[in-house]
Structure 1
């Protein structure tokens, strides 16, 4: 990644507010700078619109977790739109396959740390992104997903990785049980900031290339937990 882009990514990197009992940390961010309107590679249902009259660029932060509380691995997104003076003009974030505006619910203003770092709240365990932690309570099964429904989806395999990530019924059952037993928790609904180290930021292409290795590493950990040979 070009050094110029890396400085931009650091300047506008989001602050993710996580539940104080959240069992999972962000382990990587795959980043893309858009200087023109273009379809996202990591969230392909979205076209990232950059109106050059108003915006200098948009940044897509693809946020990688090794686990969701209900399945192996998670990819969430924050989009930051920056004008020609370097000011943040708009922030969006992913929410269960869709996306939301990240604004203060009382006044509609941006929520920033300093002048450039958007503040976004992650749903406990599931990591869907929200502008306000009070919204967690309106999400169906927000509590059950972390407790009795933890692990229910096992290993997810996206089409693009089906030749590199393999699962079967036995691994699915092990993964479901492992997540529920090791990571199941009761959220506090109290939140604290998570600051990802700069060295864990990379281009989306670098993150995408590493995903099979990241997932298979966790599969090996799960097998070892149950004394299953690789």
Structure 2
């Protein structure tokens, strides 16, 4: 089962010093133009609509769309529900649409 992750590295003084996040099976440094996007002491990340990827700025998704012929999210996104694996049984409750 593929889930995306974010790692936030915190320095001795409690400040965010580094961020990494997964993107379609790989992980990347979450600095954009050498800077982390912070709101106060929280790392700001963006999730690609209808997909599974994190980025430090929506510009990353726009660049990917220019190179990829895949369509963005449509009204049918998620219609197939969640793949209920043994790992998720009892942790995720199935509900009708």
> Shorter-normalised TM-score: what interval?
0.7 to 0.9
The corresponding residue for 2:42 is: 117
2 CA distance for matches of 1:131 and 1:80? Answer: 13
Per the alignment, do residues 217 and 130 of structure 1 end up closer, same or farther by CA in structure 2, a change over 3 Å counting?
Answer: same
Deviations 1:83-102 (A, max 9, x none): 22222111001101111111
RMSD value, Cα: 3.0
Higher helix share: 1
The corresponding residue for 2:57 is: 132
TM-score using structure 2 length: 0.72
Work out which structure has the larger RCO, using CA pairs closer than 8 Å and 6 or more positions apart in sequence: 1
Name structure 1 gaps, 5 residues minimum.
Answer: 1-72, 165-207, 223-230
Per the alignment, do residues 217 and 149 of structure 1 end up closer, same or farther by CA in structure 2, a change over 3 Å counting?
Answer: closer
> Which protein has the larger Cα radius of gyration, Structure 1 or Structure 2?
1
1:82 pairs, out of 5, 10, 33, with 10
1 CA distance for matches of 2:81 and 2:69? Answer: 17
Q: How many pairs align?
A: 93
2 CA distance for matches of 1:153 and 1:145? Answer: 16
**Consecutive aligned runs of 4 or more in structure 1 exceeding 6 Å deviation:** none
Higher strand share: 1
